[in-house]
């Protein structure tokens, strides 16, 4: 048996209105991959692909027979930025693109600064700065923690 590699390659959001969700992420300035359309969309983000896929089709593959979720899923995506000040600027840009404010930018007990938004379908995205986060030239996280 082979080992499961310790990496995260794709995060898929099940979309109820994929064209609307696609427009939102494009509105953030995120670049789509060339095969994106209103049936499936992808955004390459620093080495991880954010995929948008119809929720019914995703459920058929990943949750066959499971009850439909209600309310918040308990999952939040995070986009770490390079400075404390960028949290506020990114939060304002996300709101301008159509996000809903969940938690205003604030300094956190863990020593960083963050804010939370929701995309048009309620998926949570944290915009965060942590002094220990390090990124490569692609924006991929290379180190986190002390």
Annotated domain spans of the chain? 1-61, 75-136
Q: Under a CB-based contact definition with an 8 Å cutoff, are residues 118 and 124 in contact?
A: yes
Q: Which helix (H) or strand (E) holds 27?
A: helix 18-27
pTM of the model: 0.85
**CATH, domain range 75-136:** 3.10.180.10
pLDDT in tens, 11-34: 999 999 999 999 999 999 999 999
pLDDT in tens, 84-121: 999 999 999 999 999 999 999 999 998 999 999 999 99
Separation of alpha carbons 38 and 17, rounded Å: 9
Question: Is there a common fold for 1-61 and 75-136?
Answer: yes
Paired tokens of 38? 């209103």
Separation of alpha carbons 113 and 106, rounded Å: 5
Q: Residues 1-61: name the CATH superfamily.
A: 2,3-Dihydroxybiphenyl 1,2-Dioxygenase, domain 1 (3.10.180.10)
């Amino acid at each position: 048996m082979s080992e499961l590699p310790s990496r995260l390659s794709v995060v898929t959001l099940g979309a109820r209105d994929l064209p609307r969700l696609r427009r939102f992420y494009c509105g953030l300035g995120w670049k789509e991959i060339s095969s994106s359309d209103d049936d499936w969309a992808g955004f390459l983000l620093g080495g991880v692909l954010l995929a948008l896929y119809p929720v019914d089709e995703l459920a058929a593959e990943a949750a066959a027979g499971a009850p439909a979720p209600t309310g918040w899923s308990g999952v939040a995506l995070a986009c770490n930025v390079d400075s404390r000040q960028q949290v506020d600027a990114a939060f304002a840009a996300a709101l301008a693109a159509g996000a809903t404010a969940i938690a205003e930018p604030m300094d956190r007990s863990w020593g960083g600064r963050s804010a939370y938004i929701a995309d048009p379908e309620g998926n949570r995205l944290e915009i965060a700065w942590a002094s220990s986060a390090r990124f490569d030239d692609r924006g991929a996280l290379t180190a986190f923690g002390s």
